[in-house]
Structure 1
Amino acid sequence: MFVSTIAKPAHSHVFLGADHERSERRTWWVIWLCGAMMIAEIVGGLLFGSIALVADGLHMSTHAGALLLAALAYRYARKHANDPRFSFGTGKFGDLAGFTSAIILTMIALLIAYEAIHRFFFPVSIHFAAAIPIACLGLGVNVVSALLLAGGHHHEHGHSHSHGHSHGSEHHEHEAMHRVTTDTGVVELEIFEDGVPPRFRVRPENGQALSASEVTIETVRPDGARQVFTFQDRGLYLESREEIPEPHAFRADLRVGTNLNTIVFEEHDHADEAAHRDNNMRAAIVHVMADAAVSILVIVGLLLAKTFDWLWMDPIVGIVGSFVIASWAFGLIRDTGGILLDMTASRSMAEKLQEAIEAEGDELSDLHLWRLGPGHLGAIVALKTKNTHGPAYYRAKLARFRSLSHVTIEVEHNTGH
């Protein structure tokens, strides 16, 4: 039996998200904003005798505390990323912080529900003149906080749409859609596989007429294998009659009339979005959004109570708000808890790995796939083969899955008849 470990790069165990430092900075910005608002409300409430303002300032302190947990998690994970005591790095620390934040959110939801039910049976007088402006102020702070956090939680994509007309010109793109300039105009080329077998689709960009008989694609794979695809008219686009076999890593020679363009397709690992999600940032955003949702409900409830004298609206919106927060917290607990327990990170990735290993008749005998951090997956692959291939051969087959950051391969040679 041969065992090989792939660790990229150079056996590094740093499995932090791509936007880790940016997310950390933005979380601290929001903490400073909430802290300043907290101090202003508490000091202002004490100076002007407003208990409601003091209460909202104390509420803002719990909000800042939850965000502080997220910021400290980012800092700890970054500072200890190279600590050898962490066998698989500190990438999961954000998930641990997210799980803790979700527990806190659940407790807050229960407290809100308890207070709302209590007030439903034992109503208290409401000072609308003070409560409504405070709720509006809280909503404004939450909107600004959400914008700051969301600003560090985006994806950057490179778009390169400049294509020449020369015969055999070659284009490398990483997006699903490829724009290709031909003699008859610009066409869009993509591999479509949304719930159906993968096929090429060609679509004229400006709606110009395009005959199926004018279009062919020949794929050339790294091992030299070639396949020609013909097309049929589907109305708004042309679709290849033939299905595209896995993997989708090849050179595609697109011929439209007398014009020939070459597009290079690179296989993407198609890992689920959850495998790339930063749950620490997600928890921070959920805190802000939960607070914003409650602020909106409170404003609506207070306005209705003031206008129609419906004092029961205040506890009703409190109960609704508690259910909203609880549902968000439950989703966060479910996702982060699964990661902390090393649940299979991506079913689609597991299927892709099995297809890659068994493509030539080998047998996948065991597979463990778990998340090491945002965008980083670990895997243990055990397989049986009648061939003489060693771990290096299967290492090359799995190299296209860029989310695999730490892989152990076990090869058992079956010499039985």
Structure 2
Amino acid sequence: MVDFKDAAFGAGHDHIFLGVGHEKNERKTWAVIALCSAMMLVEIVGGSMFGSLALVADGLHMSTHAGAMLIAALAYSYARKHATDSRFVFGTGKLGDLAGFTSAIVLAMIALLIGYEAASRFLSPVPIHFGEAIPIAAVGLFVNLASVWLLNGGDHDHGHDDHAHEEEVQKIFAPSGVFAVSIFEDGVPPVFRITPATQTSRLDATAVSVTTVQPDGTQQVFALADRGDYLESKEDIPEPHSFTAIVRMPDGEFGVEFEEHEHHDDADEAATRDHNIGAAYIHVMADAAVSVLAIIGLVLARAFGWLWMDPLAGIIGALVIANWSYGLMRDTGAILLDMNCDRRMAENVRHAIEDLGDKVVDLHVWRVGPGHMSAVVSVATDETQRDSRFYHALLGRFMGLSHVTVEVQPLQTAA
């Protein structure tokens, strides 16, 4: 059994699986804590000086807001300081997910507290001091929006650095049917895919090939493998993706044009998402949503005498927070339990090996940090020259596959 860490993710076997935006997100979180702490002190001191209980109460609420952010900040700091600690078998990349799960529990408790308070006010209405409550809610909303901006960094980053090509599709109208030809890249090296547009259209992978012709005349031939619903090239497509592709089929040759296009951030990719900064972001968004609902409820209650609007807004806010909490708890819990959050990666690893005629006996793929996947694979082969180093080199082309363990055994033994 041999471990291997691809050089693309740093030299040596260091098990550092922190997200690329780790230090930047850590600074953002501490900035939000500083803002909330300053606002907390102003409200508590100002409320005490001017005798405003509502102002003091909002200051104490702001302290819980800063406390929740502290969970994220300490997780970032601890993960960074102990990234090389050998006691953590697969590094500290999952610490952010643990912090996110903890924040989800805190959010759930806040939702329950808001819901309980709102239900109590439905049953026993209390007088509302609109002159103080509305400005305080407005100030709270301003602080929350400022926190959202700080966590966002003004660039909608959220700690993602992975890029993927949009799937560009060209169609071939052949006597045997209509086929879609595309360049597919989603966390894996780009490959050609040929998909029948109708159920009756079928292709034999051995009778089809794709030849690319670059503007300088350079040509490359791509063999195809049958993936069931589509054919996929066995070789990766090198950059740039600007060429004429000649698709050779039993009933003729067909040319399609591909042009290089822009990359985009895939903010929903579970394998690369930083749940720690995501949890902090959800917390301030939840607080902002509650502030908006509170302002609406207070304004309507003051204008029309609908005192029930204030607790109703609280219940709606509690339901919104509970829903966000559940989603965060589900996503982070799955990672902490080592569920495979990127099945496409596992599928591509299996295909890369079995396309060579070998057999994957056992395969496990899981996330060890934002943008870092680990794989344990047992391969059976009758090629005596193929050792673990061969498969490490083969799998090293997959983006995000940072840690690979390979076991090689004779094919007869596996059978």
Normalising by structure 1, we get a TM-score of 0.77
> For residues 89 and 155 of structure 1, do their structure 2 counterparts lie closer, same or farther at Cα, with a shift above 3 Å needed?
closer
> For residues 376 and 157 of structure 1, do their structure 2 counterparts lie closer, same or farther at Cα, with a shift above 3 Å needed?
closer
Please say if residues 112 and 318 of structure 1, whose CA atoms lie closer than 8 Å, have aligned partners that are also in contact. yes
Separation of aligned partners in 2, 1:90 and 1:130: 46
One of 217, 221, 224 as aligned partner of 1:226: 221
> For residues 382 and 289 of structure 1, do their structure 2 counterparts lie closer, same or farther at Cα, with a shift above 3 Å needed?
same
Separation of aligned partners in 2, 1:264 and 1:387: 39
**Identity in percent:** 55
| Residue identity in the other structure for 1:295 | S
Residues 188-225 of structure 1: CA deviation (Å, up to 9, x unaligned): x972589xx8359xxxxxxxxxxxxxxxx8339xxx96
Deviation at 1:264, TM superposition (A): 9.9
Partner of 1:212: none
> For residues 345 and 119 of structure 1, do their structure 2 counterparts lie closer, same or farther at Cα, with a shift above 3 Å needed?
same
> For residues 391 and 264 of structure 1, do their structure 2 counterparts lie closer, same or farther at Cα, with a shift above 3 Å needed?
farther
Please say if residues 271 and 348 of structure 1, whose CA atoms lie closer than 8 Å, have aligned partners that are also in contact. no
| Residue identity in the other structure for 1:50 | S
> For residues 156 and 406 of structure 1, do their structure 2 counterparts lie closer, same or farther at Cα, with a shift above 3 Å needed?
closer
Partner of 2:237: 249
> For residues 393 and 157 of structure 1, do their structure 2 counterparts lie closer, same or farther at Cα, with a shift above 3 Å needed?
closer
Partner of 2:193: 198
Partner of 2:158: 153
Separation of aligned partners in 2, 1:227 and 1:371: 31
Separation of aligned partners in 2, 1:264 and 1:386: 41
Separation of aligned partners in 1, 2:152 and 2:167: 26
Q: Secondary structure at the match of 1:303?
A: helix
Separation of aligned partners in 2, 1:378 and 1:113: 41
Residues 105-155 of structure 1: CA deviation (Å, up to 9, x unaligned): 100100110111111011101111111111110000000100100116255
Please say if residues 250 and 264 of structure 1, whose CA atoms lie closer than 8 Å, have aligned partners that are also in contact. no
One of 21, 29, 32 as aligned partner of 1:30: 32
> For residues 412 and 334 of structure 1, do their structure 2 counterparts lie closer, same or farther at Cα, with a shift above 3 Å needed?
same
One of 291, 294, 308 as aligned partner of 2:290: 294
Please say if residues 191 and 198 of structure 1, whose CA atoms lie closer than 8 Å, have aligned partners that are also in contact. yes
Q: Tell me, which stretches of 5 or more residues in structure 1 are unaligned?
A: 159-173, 179-188, 201-216, 230-241
Q: Secondary structure at the match of 2:271?
A: helix
| Residue identity in the other structure for 1:333 | M
| Residue identity in the other structure for 1:331 | G
Residues 70-115 of structure 1: CA deviation (Å, up to 9, x unaligned): 1011000000111111111111111111111110110010011011
Please say if residues 70 and 284 of structure 1, whose CA atoms lie closer than 8 Å, have aligned partners that are also in contact. yes
Partner of 1:67: 69
Partner of 1:4: 2
> For residues 154 and 90 of structure 1, do their structure 2 counterparts lie closer, same or farther at Cα, with a shift above 3 Å needed?
closer
| Residue identity in the other structure for 1:254 | F
1:406 aligns with 2:395: no
1:337 aligns with 2:333: yes
Q: Secondary structure at the match of 2:412?
A: coil
Q: Secondary structure at the match of 2:233?
A: coil
Superposition RMSD in Å: 3.2
Within a 5 Å distance, the mapping from 1:268-347 to structure 2 comes to 273-347=269-343
Please say if residues 20 and 161 of structure 2, whose CA atoms lie closer than 8 Å, have aligned partners that are also in contact. no
Deviation at 1:372, TM superposition (A): 0.8
Please say if residues 362 and 383 of structure 1, whose CA atoms lie closer than 8 Å, have aligned partners that are also in contact. yes
One of 82, 85, 88 as aligned partner of 1:83: 85
Normalising by structure 2, we get a TM-score of 0.77
Q: Secondary structure at the match of 1:276?
A: coil
Please say if residues 194 and 232 of structure 2, whose CA atoms lie closer than 8 Å, have aligned partners that are also in contact. yes
Separation of aligned partners in 1, 2:159 and 2:411: 47
Separation of aligned partners in 2, 1:264 and 1:53: 57
> For residues 125 and 364 of structure 1, do their structure 2 counterparts lie closer, same or farther at Cα, with a shift above 3 Å needed?
same
Deviation at 1:386, TM superposition (A): 2.4
Please say if residues 358 and 364 of structure 1, whose CA atoms lie closer than 8 Å, have aligned partners that are also in contact. yes
Separation of aligned partners in 2, 1:384 and 1:144: 56
Partner of 1:350: 346
Within a 5 Å distance, the mapping from 1:116-195 to structure 2 comes to 116-151=118-153, 153=158, 155=160, 175-176=165-166, 191=183
Q: Tell me, which stretches of 5 or more residues in structure 2 are unaligned?
A: 169-180, 187-191, 196-209, 214-218, 225-229, 246-256
> For residues 23 and 384 of structure 1, do their structure 2 counterparts lie closer, same or farther at Cα, with a shift above 3 Å needed?
same
Deviation at 1:383, TM superposition (A): 1.9
Within a 5 Å distance, the mapping from 1:87-126 to structure 2 comes to 87-126=89-128
